[in-house]
Structure formats: C-alpha cells, structure tokens
Copies of this chain bind each other. A is one copy, B any other.
Amino acid sequence: MDEKKTAMIFKAFCDENRIRIIKLLRLGEKCACQLLEEINVTQPTLSHHMKILCDSEIVVGRKEGKWTYYSISEKGVEQAKECLRILTTLDVVSENKSCCEK
C-alpha cells in the first residue's frame, strides 16, 4: 500500500473529535443528527469529519430518505489493521547494512 493511502486511513484516528465519533459508532449505526447531539461541534464541522472518516473507509455512510446513517466498516477496519501490521512487522529477510560503525 502506498504512503498516501496509508496516511489517509490513519487520519481517521488523528483528531480527538473523530476518535469520539468512532467511539460512538462502536455502539452501532447512528445517524448524523444523533452524532451531532453528542459531539460538541456545529453541523458543517461534523459533516467535514464524517467525510474524512468515510474517505479513510473506517466508516461507511448509508443514505435513507433525508437521513444519513453511519457505521464502522468491518472491511475498512480489517484493512487498517492489516496495514498497521505490515507497517510494523520487522522484515528479517531483507539484508540491513549497519552504519556509523565506530
């Protein structure tokens, strides 16, 4: 996975309000109006955060009439976990030249 995509995924978890939103979605699908009641931001700001969360694919939105329902995407979460796993697993196969020997 390229660096741009990786950064995009983890942007979901880089803002305190987005983390609060994700925590609320752990409880199940919620519509924007319900999130708005619990997060202390204006409606356009919430909308902005929901866009970033959806772009990261951690959250998915579902339109139904005039409401939009958001929930945590299992697929997106698995992608993030896999991405984190790969990024942080030591690569013991590739050689690694030591440097700066005294």
Q: Which residues of A contact B (CB under 8 A)?
A: 3-4, 6-7, 9-11, 13-17, 19-20, 22-23, 26-28, 30-31, 33-34, 58, 65, 67, 72, 77, 80-81, 84-85, 87-91, 94, 96, 99-100, 102
Task: Report the minimum CB–CB distance from A75 to chain B (whole Å).
Answer: 11
Copy number of this protein in the oligomer?
A: 2
Give Cα A51–Cα B15 distance, bound, in whole angstroms. 19
Contact call A23/B102, Cβ cutoff below 8 A? no
Contact call A88/B77, Cβ cutoff below 8 A? yes
Task: Report the minimum CB–CB distance from A28 to chain B (whole Å).
Answer: 4
Contact call B81/A85, Cβ cutoff below 8 A? yes
Q: List 19 A-B contacts (CB under 8 A).
A: A3-B16, A6-B19, A7-B15, A10-B14, A13-B87, A19-B87, A22-B87, A26-B87, A26-B88, A26-B89, A30-B96, A30-B99, A31-B100, A33-B99, A34-B100, A80-B84, A80-B88, A81-B85, A81-B88
